[in-house]
Amino acid sequence: MVFRFVIFVSVLLASCALLAQEETKSKNGELEIVLGLNFFGPAPQMARIMEDFHFDQTTHPYWGDRTKEHPNYPPFGGLFQLSYSHYLGQRSQLGIILHWASLRTVEGYHAQAEELEVGFSNTSIIATYNYDLNHCWEIQTGLAMMVNDSYGTYPATEDFTEYTSITPGVFLGLSNRIWDSRVTYGKIGIHLLITGRVSTGPFTAESWSYKATATIPEHKLGYSHFNLYFAFGFHL
């Protein structure tokens, strides 16, 4: 593991050295397509709330011997971005980012009310200032307008509930340019979207089998999330 890490860092440093030796190209701007993974966000918070309101039953499928624990959610969500940045000088840029993240879905199961699924997503417009540290590493800061969605689905009744809130946010990022040709470039990076907590809910599950309901009342959840990504870009 240590050997692999040393090799990875060595490749990054060598890439930085090669990029720093290249002649400065005449550039007006850059366009990026970004794919990645996100972590944290409201899903772990909702899982804890489901436990408090007894949506934590273990179920036994009709086939096989495996059981299913609740609440549960995937280990990470998905990320897609489009961004454009315009050069102010050789090292600084102003940019705009269109950001969409699937912040995962939490599945719960109540002994009487049965199934409840609560999903989350975020759509943001972000204005950024980018600074090139050494022709390889780049830092980003910015302000965001974040549209935060939550949606409850109830498989037993096929009902659907949705809540939307809009909040300001702060954007922080760090990326490493792993190649840079005359037309295209590639980057790997991390960034963080930070915002305040917002109210969402209530969510009410209803069982046709038991003629019972169970409600998770309105709660405040945080939509701040951390992203790990790869960007494929074009020089304009």
Residues 209-235: tens digit of each pLDDT: 777 889 999 999 999 999 999 999 999
Q: Quick one: which of 217, 221, 174 has its CA closest to 197?
A: 221
In a domain, 11, yes or no: no
pLDDT, position 38: 96
pTM, entire model: 0.84
Identify the residue with better confidence: 207 or 54.
54
In a domain, 201, yes or no: yes
pLDDT band at 190 (very low <50, low <70, confident <90, very high): very high
For residue 13, pLDDT beyond 90: no
Q: Are 193 and 146 in contact (CB under 8 A)?
A: yes
From CA 49, how far away is CA 95, in angstroms rounded? 38
Domain assignment of residue 66, given as a range:
25-235
In a domain, 18, yes or no: no
In a domain, 12, yes or no: no
From CA 201, how far away is CA 206, in angstroms rounded? 15
Residues 6+ apart with CB under 8 A from 79: 34, 35, 36, 37, 38, 99, 100, 101, 102, 227, 229
* CATH number for the domain that contains residue 34: 2.40.160.20
In a domain, 13, yes or no: no
Residues 68-115: tens digit of each pLDDT: 889 999 999 999 999 999 999 888 999 999 999 999 999 999 988 888
Mean pLDDT confidence for 184-209: 92
pLDDT, position 202: 94
Overall number of domains in the chain: 1
